[in-house]
Amino acid sequence: MTAVLPSRPTVRPDRPVGGRLIDQFEYGLDAPICLTWELTYACNLACVHCLSSSGRRDPRELSTAEAERVIDELQRMQVFYVNVGGGEPTVRPDFWHLLDYAIDHQVGVKFSTNGIKLDKKRAAQLAATDYVDVQLSLDGATAEVNDRVRGTGSFATATRALENLAEAGMKDFKVSVVVTRENVGQLDQFKALTDSFGAQLRITRFRPSGRGADVWDELHPTQAQQRELYNWLLANGDNVLTGDSFFHLSAYGEALPGLNLCGAGRVVCLIDPVGDVYACPFAIHENFLAGNVRDEGGFQRVWQTSDLFQELRSPQTGGACTKCAHFDACRGGCMAAKFFTGLPLDGPDPECVQGYGETALAARDADRTAPKSHIDHSHSGPVRGQPTLLGFPSIPAKLCDESPLAGMQ
C-alpha cells in the first residue's frame, strides 16, 4: 500500500523555533513521542479500574499483516519506540512475532503485562533482546491490596514474572502502579519491592476512564493523600518514573519532574486494537477519535492532519484555569479526568489541588450525566479470580438470607 501523503502542511507555522521544549510540544510534533498501541482487548483478568474496559477480544482486531504495516509506518515516521498494552498483549498468539518484527524495524517496544505469559523461557528470551522493555502491573504492594483490584492470584502471577525476569538477568524492567486511595500509603513498600527485583518503579495517576469511571469515587486519592503523594514524589521522584501523570500536583508549589503539560494529540496518542486512533490512552471516546490506521494515508495522515489533533495543538487561551495563579505549573490538569467526570475541558481538574475541582463537581449541572465511552469489552460473566473491591453487589442466595421476614406479607 502506498501511503498518501497529507495535503496540508505538517508543521504548524506558528510553532516556536528553539526555546523551551514544552512550548514546542504545545504545538505538536510530526511524530508522537509517546505512542501507546493496545494490541488486543482480550485479557485474562478483569481489573476493576481498567482504563480500556478490556476483557473480550474484538473480532475486528488488526490482523498480523495489518499490524506489520503499522510498524512499517512507524519506522518511516521515525517513531523510535512504542508502548504496547491492551488488554493483555501477550495473549495475542502473534505477540512474540510482532515484538521481533518491531525490533527488526528499529521500533523499540515497551510492553505492559500482568505477567501471565512470562515464564522462565520467555524471561530469558526478553533478557537476550535489545530494544525491549517490560512493565509488570501491580496495584498493591501486598496480595491483599493488589488482588482486591486486579483479582485473586494476580499478585502471585506478577511477582512470579518479576522473579523470572530478575533471574534471567533482565535489565531496567519496571513495576507499574496506578496510585489509588487504597495503595497510596504503600509507596515506600512498592519502592522496596521493586528494588528487591532490581527493577524500577513507575507510578501513574488513576483516571476515571473505562471501568475506572465506575470506581472513581471510591478509589481516587483524597486531597490529603494527594499532598502525601506530592511530598513523597519530591523526596523520591528522581528514581521513580511518572510520565505526565502528576503535573496537576505541581500547583502545590514546586514542579515535579516529567512532562508538565497534557500531551494528548500533541506528543501522545493511542492506537486501539481495531486501529482507531485516539488523542490519549485515557480518552477512549468518540469525542477524541481522530481516525483509523486502516483509512487512506494510514496512521501518518491521522497524526499529522486530523482536525481533532490540529485543534488540540493550540495553546489554551480561555477558561477558568487560565485565570489561576498556578496555571503555568498545572495547565489545568488532565483532559481525560475532566471529561469523564463531566467537567468542562477548560476548567479545573476534578483533583485540582487548590480545591476548585471539588467546587466545580458540586456545581455540575445535576441533570448532566458524565460521558461514557462507547467501547466496553468487559467480560460478560464471572472471571476466575474476580476482584473483590467494592464487592460486586452481593446478591442474597435466598431472600431470607437478608431478612427473615423478607418477602412475607
Where do contacts with ligand SF4 occur on this chain (CB under 6 A)? Answer: 244, 248, 251, 262-264, 268, 280, 282-283, 321, 324, 326-327, 330, 332-336, 348-349, 352, 354, 356
Q: What minimum distance in Å lies between the beta carbon of 45 and ligand SF4?
A: 22
Based on CB atoms, which residue is closest to ligand SF4, 168 or 267? 267
φ, ψ of residue 290 to 5 degrees: the values are -100, -20
Residue count (the chain): 409
Please identify, using beta-carbon distances, which residue of 113 and 209 lies nearer to ligand SF4.
Answer: 209
User: At its nearest, how many Å lie between ligand SF4 and the CB of residue 334?
Assistant: 3
Q: In Å, what is the CA distance from 321 to each residue of 101, 139, 153, 327, 360?
A: 44, 31, 43, 6, 12
Query: Which lies closer to ligand SF4 via its Cβ, residue 191 or residue 205?
Result: 205
Smallest distance from the beta carbon of 338 to ligand SF4, in angstroms? 8
The DSSP 8-state label assigned to residue 16 in this structure reads P
Q: What are phi and psi of 203, to 5 degrees?
A: -120, 140
Q: Output 28 or 297, the one with its CB closest to ligand SF4.
A: 28
Q: Which is nearer to ligand SF4, 201 or 335 (CB)?
A: 335
Nearer to ligand SF4 by Cβ, of 94 and 358: the residue is: 358
Q: Grid coordinates in use for 90?
A: 501477550
Provide, rounded to whole angstroms, the least separation between the CB of residue 271 and ligand SF4: 15
Rounded to whole angstroms, the Cα distance separating 126 from 107 reads: 15
Phi/psi region, residue 204 (left: phi>0; alpha: psi -120 to 50; beta: rest), is: beta
Q: In what order do the strands lie in the sheet with 108-113?
A: 240-241, 200-205, 174-179, 132-137, 108-113, 81-85, 34-38, 268-271, 276-278, 289-292
CA distance 408 to 399: 10
Min dist. Cβ of residue 349 to ligand SF4 (A): 4
| Spatial separation of the C-alpha atoms in residues 178 and 109, rounded to whole Å | 21
Q: Least distance in Å: CB of 49 to ligand SF4?
A: 14
Residue among 158, 157, 40, 37 at smallest CA distance from 92 = 40
Contact yes or no for 36/281 (Cβ under 8 A): yes
Q: Which is nearer to ligand SF4, 41 or 246 (CB)?
A: 246
CB of 404 to ligand SF4, least distance (A): 50
